[in-house]
A and B are shown apart, each in its own frame.
Chain A
Amino acid sequence: MNVQHVLIISAGLFSVGIFGVLSRRNLLIVLLSVEIMLNGANLALVGLSRDLAASATPSAAESGQALVLFSMAVAAAEVAVGLSILIAFFRHARSVDTASPRATALRR
């Protein structure tokens, strides 16, 4: 258990999120996958913050944690806006399928 292991686990979470975003056509699950990617990045930030704090010169190691808190706030805002866009999309297309026929009619 060292900083590399934390980074590898965060890379795993991030890749799982990428897989979800690219492979699913359900808009809800695409949004959930974006959340998982954000969490992977947060985990990396926390791990690096803890690594910096244990170093010889622990200057401003808290900034990593502060950045995670801010990214959580950004994620909350992103989810609120994203879900309301999803509902507007559903009203229009009667489906949450990103490739539904009426969704593609949006592009006219």
Chain B
Amino acid sequence: MNFIFWLAGLGAIAAATRAVTHENPIYSALWTLLALSAVAVEFVLLHSGFLAAMQVLLYAGAIMVLFVFVIMLLSLKKEEHGEEPPFATKAFAFAVALAVFAVLTSAARTFPVRDAAFPASDERMASVAGDVDFGSVEHFGRFLYGPSVVPFELISVLLTAAIAGVVILARRRTPLGVEPPVESAPGHGQGHGEASPAPGDGPAETPPALEAAPLGGGAHT
């Protein structure tokens, strides 16, 4: 039990470290997946079986699939990954992270330890919630639909708002099939096809003139 706890905990930290230092976002996402799964193992050890299932379904399932989906959609070339920040930035980030870790750890050190070892109180945990296990689906569901039913229902409002926000962010600026007015220099816009190969797909993006101007202008003169 103890061994698994430390293995999963330190494994989560190690996988997360690799995730935030990896060059390629897809490997980053996979390492994050490992870290999230390790946190799910911690949840199981902490009597939260239902949350462990939610962690796997929601985080490792839905959220990470969304990430991988977007990474595949963008299909970034190597030069679009973002430059390596200078060493000073990394050193600064490391110093800040270390400071935060030191503060949080020293705060955790002062936290009163009710039971010296978690496994020692596992027998007591079995009966703390009456006839069901603490953290099981039955016990958690009773709490969720009892005292905390209002915030639980408000989640649906939040998710609806998020969906509406995503639709507004992702929608095309012009109606489908309508060519947007070309704002600047129609002579440049007809540059020979490297800026927007499919004219029908162009309007969703920022004005193509922005990108076409230096290239097309150079070709014409």
Contacts and interface: CB of A to CB of B under 8 A. Distances in A.
B58 A83 contact: no
A70 B188 CA distance: 51
Place the interface of chain B in its size category.
35 or more
B111 A76 contact: no
Contacts of B124: 54
B108 A65 contact: no
Nearest to A50: B46
A75 B165 CA distance: 15
A41 to B, nearest CB: 11
Contacts of B74: 28, 87, 90, 96
A83 B20 contact: no
Given A81-B162, A81-B165, 18 more contacts: A14-B101, A17-B16, A17-B20, A18-B100, A29-B19, A32-B28, A32-B32, A35-B36, A36-B32, A46-B51, A47-B46, A49-B48, A63-B147, A69-B144, A72-B58, A83-B66, A95-B80, A97-B83
A28 B71 contact: yes
The secondary-structure label for the interface of chain B is: helix
Contact of B20 (A16, A49, A94, A100): A16
A51 to B, nearest CB: 6
Contact of B35 (A2, A36, A96): A36
A11 B114 contact: no
Q: Tell me whether chain A's interface is mostly helix, strand or loop, or mixed.
A: helix
B96 A18 contact: yes
B62 to A, nearest CB: 6
Interface string B120-145: 01001100110000110001100110
Contacts of B115: 2, 51, 54
B151 A70 contact: yes
B178 interface: no
Given A22-B89, A33-B20, A77 B70 contact: no
A29 B101 CA distance: 20
Contacts of A60: 147
Contacts of A78: 162
Interface string B143-176: 1100110011001001101110110011000000
B28 A19 contact: no
A6 B218 CA distance: 61
Given A24-B20, A28-B71, A95-B80, A80 B166 contact: yes
A15 B58 CA distance: 23
A74 B58 CA distance: 11
A7 to B, nearest CB: 4
A70 B155 CA distance: 7
Contacts of A36: 16, 19-20, 32, 35
Given A16-B97, A91-B204, A98 B82 contact: yes
Nearest to B8: A9
B119 A1 contact: yes
